[in-house]
Amino acid sequence: MFTDFVVQPIFNLLVLIYALIPGHNFGLAIILFTIVIRLLMWPLVKKQLRQTKITRQLQPELKRIKKEAKGDRQREGQMMMELYKERGVNPFGAFPTLIVQMIVLIGLYMGLIKVIKDPNQIVQFAYGPLQNLPWMQHLAENIKAFDNSLFGVIDLSRAALNAQGTYIPALILVVLSAGIQFLTSRQLMPADKEARKLRHILKAAGDGKQADQAEVSAAVGRSMQYIIPFMVFFFTINLAAALSLYWFTGGVVAYFQQKKALEDDAEQLVEAAESDKPLKTERGSKISYSSTPEAEIVTTTTKQTHTKSSKKSKKKRR
């Protein structure tokens, strides 16, 4: 069932792109396929990023709750959940996007393995209508015409580390995949100069001081931006370069999607501050722009300008 409902549809979308693009380059087909998948996932990604943005904006209020609770864990947790509910934050909102990404990755991997082991599978594993396309009929007669490289430069069927040794072009793709993963993870990390590192928290806990669960979770999240890229590196270094190309292209598209989503939310906060109106989330909950330092600056500046203009007008009347 997984092959019929996941692997084959994903693989056939890739084959369709490959059969239709000029030049019929498999590497270019993977790049275009990845862009299409990321665009189709945009609604889920945008929703996830909005949740991340709101969570970042709530950091000052979470610190206030921590002070008010005065060490009462139960009260602190209850107040945090009430705040999340009020602002429309779902702590598990990222899971749907992650699940879809993993399904596509596994489906693509299983399809690529078929082609790497037997190039004829690009025709045989395709749906009937695709097999009737002119280029697919040509491949059925002469499978040697199948180009599984990236513009003739990188053999996408080879891994960075293989039986023949180290394949440098594939290794470069692996490094780029890990690098873009680091950039996308870091892009979502809130900037908190007062935040302690995980090892400092654990050291303090070892000295008998009780660790704050929220602070531990935040520290783990910051550590993951370094751990995940290493996991990507070691996961893809022994796999075909085609998968690294997919991961790298997806990471580049994700970086610009996140950048646009976060910039749009920042513009909404500034507009809300200038118009003196609260910003609404997708569920209708209101976010007070004054809870962020940037918004406080905008609000203060606006008020000061208004006060100065009022004083000048009074002087003129006198």
Domain residues of the chain, as ranges?
Answer: 2-310
pLDDT(292) > 70: no
Looking at residue 214, what is its pLDDT? 54
Name the pLDDT band for 191 (thresholds 50, 70, 90). Answer: low
How far is 243 from 250, CA to CA, in rounded Å? 11
Q: pLDDT tens for residues 196-239? A: 555 555 555 555 555 555 555 555 566 777 888 898 899 889 99
Looking at residue 285, what is its pLDDT? 45
Name the pLDDT band for 281 (thresholds 50, 70, 90). Answer: very low
Closest CA to 28 of 154, 150, 177: 150
Looking at residue 19, what is its pLDDT? 94
What is the residue-averaged pLDDT of the chain?
76
Q: pLDDT tens for residues 54-104? A: 776 777 787 787 778 776 777 877 887 887 777 777 766 667 777 888 888
Looking at residue 69, what is its pLDDT? 75
How far is 279 from 276, CA to CA, in rounded Å? 10
Q: pLDDT tens for residues 244-259? A: 999 999 999 989 988 8
